Amino acid sequence: MRVSNNKARQYVEKLEEFQGSNTMGKWWHSSEQSVDKIELKLTIYVVYSYGHHFPMYIYDKEQGKWIGNKDKYSQSTTRHQSLLRPSSVALWLGTDDMQHIVRHQGLVGHTISKAQH
C-alpha cells in the first residue's frame, strides 16, 4: 500500500507492508533451511530507506524483537529513521550486520553464519 512517510510508522507498528516516499516495509520469508540438522523457517519484516541497501529496522518474528540500524547514511535517511522508528528497539547494530541479518533471514541465521566463519 502506498502511504506518506508521516503515516508509515502506523504500518511499521502493525508489521504491515507499505511503500512510502523512498521508504518501504516488506516481509521476507525463507524456505525451510536445515542447519546442523535443525529445520528453520525464518521470517523477518524489514523497513528500508532508499532501496534494499539500507535496512533501517528489522523485526525478527522468531525472536519477537526489533533490531535497529545505528548507522547514519544521509540527512534524509536520518529523517526516515526518526519517522519510522518502532516503539521498542531491543538491539542496535551497524549496516553490515543488518544486511547480514536480512541475507540470513533473522538473528538465528545470522548467528549461525557468523559462528561457522
Residue ranges making up the domain that contains 87: 5-116
In 1-117, at which residue ranges do the beta strands (DSSP E only) sit?
18-19, 23-29, 33-35, 38-40, 43-49, 55-60, 65-69, 89-93
Instruction: Say how many domains are in the chain.
Output: 1
- pLDDT beyond 70 at 38: no
| DSSP type of residue 32 | P
* pLDDT greater at residue 68 or residue 30: 68
SS3 state of residue 19: strand
The pLDDT tens digits of the residues spanning 55-92 come to 999 999 989 999 999 999 899 999 999 999 999 999 99
* Distance of alpha carbon 75 from alpha carbon 35, whole angstroms: 40
The answer to whether the CB of 62 falls within 8 A of the CB of 38 is no
